[in-house]
Amino acid sequence: MKIGLAEVNVTPPLGMQIPGYGPKSRHATGVKDELFAKAMVIESGEAVLAFIVIDILSLELDSSDRIRNRVHAYTGIPAEQVMVSCTHTHTGPPRPLDEAALAYYPTLEEKSADAAILAYGKREEAKIGCGRGNEDSVAFNRRFFMKNGGLLTNPGVLNPNIDRPEGPIDPEVLVVRIDNAQGEPLGIVSNYAVHTDCVGGTEYSGDYPAFISRTIKQLYGESVVSLFFQGACGNINHIDVLGRHDPKIIPHRVRMGNILGREIAKVRDKTSSDSSEVVLSAASRFVSVSERALREHEVEWAHSTLAALRDVPDDELSGRQAMEKARAEQRLESIRQPLGSRDYEIQVAAIGDLAVVALPAEIFVEFGLEIKEKSPYPYTIINELSNGSGNGYVCTPEAYDRGGYEPTGTKFAEEAGGLFVGAALELLNELHGRSH
């Protein structure tokens, strides 16, 4: 077995719009952490797989396709055996919406592909091992039942009206140890589910995965690549409503990156890298999903929201008001259009006893937990925002009844999550059946 890893700096020029908080102007003024595209290429027998992770909020289908095609052109790896995903940082590159951003995207796409091309060129004899840890102090379900019977997303720290969280978290920390033939560390793959939305402001940052990488490099050397796969975190973030951490003392991204980085290192050091040959396989399936028809009360909310904000100038809107106005306008525009549909790719890659499940969009944690529970593989990584899905939430059916922020979108029909889980489990069982 041969493995290569590489990381390429993709930090955009200053002045670009940082996405993640709706339409409010937020142009980059500095760099907290450089942004990267990172890649791992693994070869065993006749099979080769490539994994690319980009420090970016989301990626559209055309960009993902161009990245995969460039990797194929330079390495021969079939595009369907290349997985492209996002860390979902909210302080990363712009969306391709204006002239400056459109000029940057060819460079972003080429460098992201180049990470895999460089990793392919750096392949060397390697060994791997998988392990799991547990960390439940940095992730929180952000949807809460309130004492008045309603439900709110992020109701505020120490809000006395909070009753209880709506759902679970996924505390599992999955780790893949990658060593060279002499047992020296080449890289560490990790997977955890919590939103990369801990920074804010107008400086580029890779959020807490950047500090995971910093911890890994401090412990094992600057050449060791930390590849982070974002788990199913659509309804999971870092806000502890009990107020047990003051970010003014230690910023969230630092604290979380250090805690997770140390847990990852602990698991890595307890895991033996004794597999020098593994069975590699990959498969994908496209699932057709329609857009969501709005409910009557959602249309009424849009009309009332726009009426309430009609006399407020755009430059005087708060961040929340700007997001609500944009959401209301999008809702009213959507009801004037016929419901569209799109095919979304569900991809599964197997590396011996490990499966990586690439899912579209921002997936509620319940779906990730279901896939893990039913997976035939001992280790299953959930890798959301993969293969050009764009952004948007895939919610549980119950969430649409209860409300909150996440179900406000219209991109995914209410049955989307079940369809994605079903396709993922079919692929997992299909690949597992081939190799066992």
DSSP string, 240-284: -TT----TTTS-HHHHHHHHHHHHHHHHHHHS---BS---EEEEE
pLDDT of residue 296: 86
What is residue 316's predicted lDDT score, i.e. its pLDDT? 87
CA atoms within 13 A on the CB side of 320: 3
Q: For residue 69, what are its two tokens?
A: 């095609």
Residue with tokens 């219209």: 410
pLDDT of residue 360: 97
CA distances to 85, 171, 365, 370, 376 from 348, rounded to whole Å, are 13, 22, 18, 15, 12
Q: What is the mean pLDDT of residues 366-391?
A: 97
pLDDT for res 315: 84
What H or E segment, with its residue span, contains residue 320? helix 319-334
What is the rounded CA–CA span in Å between residue 403 and residue 151? 6
Give the pLDDT band of residue 436 (cuts 50, 70, 90). confident
Phi-psi region of 88 (alpha: psi -120 to 50; beta: other; left: phi over 0): left
User: How far apart (Å, rounded) are the C-alpha atoms in residues 286 and 281?
Assistant: 17
Q: How far is CA 60 from the centre of its chain?
A: 13
pLDDT tens, position by position, 96-117: 999 999 999 999 999 999 999 9
CA atoms of 219 and 187, how far apart (whole Å):
12
Structure tokens at 376: 């035939």
| Portion of the chain with pLDDT greater than 90, in percent | 85
Nearest-Å Rg of the Cα atoms of the chain is: 21
pLDDT at 174: 98
Helix %, strand %, coil % of the chain (to 5): 35, 30, 40
Please report the pLDDT score of residue 184 as a whole number.
96
Would you say residue 90 has pLDDT above 90? yes
Q: What pLDDT is attached to residue 27? A: 96
Q: How far apart are CA 261 and CA 242, in angstroms?
A: 24
In this structure, of 118-127, 350-359, 404-413, the range with the lowest mean pLDDT score is: 404-413
Per-residue model confidence (pLDDT) at position 358: 98
pLDDT at residue 24 is higher than 80: no
pLDDT band at 415; cut points 50, 70, 90: very high
Domain boundaries, the chain: 2-285+344-435, 295-338
For residue 78, give the amino acid letter: P
Q: Given this model, what pLDDT does residue 148 score?
A: 96
pLDDT above 80: residue 56:
yes
Element at 115 (helix H, strand E): helix 99-121
**Residues sharing a CB contact under 8 Å with residue 290, sequence separation 6 or more, in sequence order:** 339, 340, 341, 413
What are 140-161's pLDDT values in tens digits?
999 999 999 999 999 999 999 9
Task: Check: CB of residue 217 under 8 Å from CB of residue 45.
Answer: no
Question: pLDDT, tens digit, for every residue of 232-265?
Answer: 999 999 999 999 999 989 999 999 999 999 999 9
Residue 321 confidence class, pLDDT cut points 50, 70, 90? confident
Residue 217, CA distances (Å) to 41, 213, 223, 334 in order: 20, 6, 7, 47
Reported as a single tens digit per residue, the pLDDT across 187-222 is 999 999 999 999 999 999 999 999 999 999 999 999
pLDDT above 80: residue 283: yes
Tokens of 368: 């990730």
What is the predicted pLDDT for the residue at 331? 83
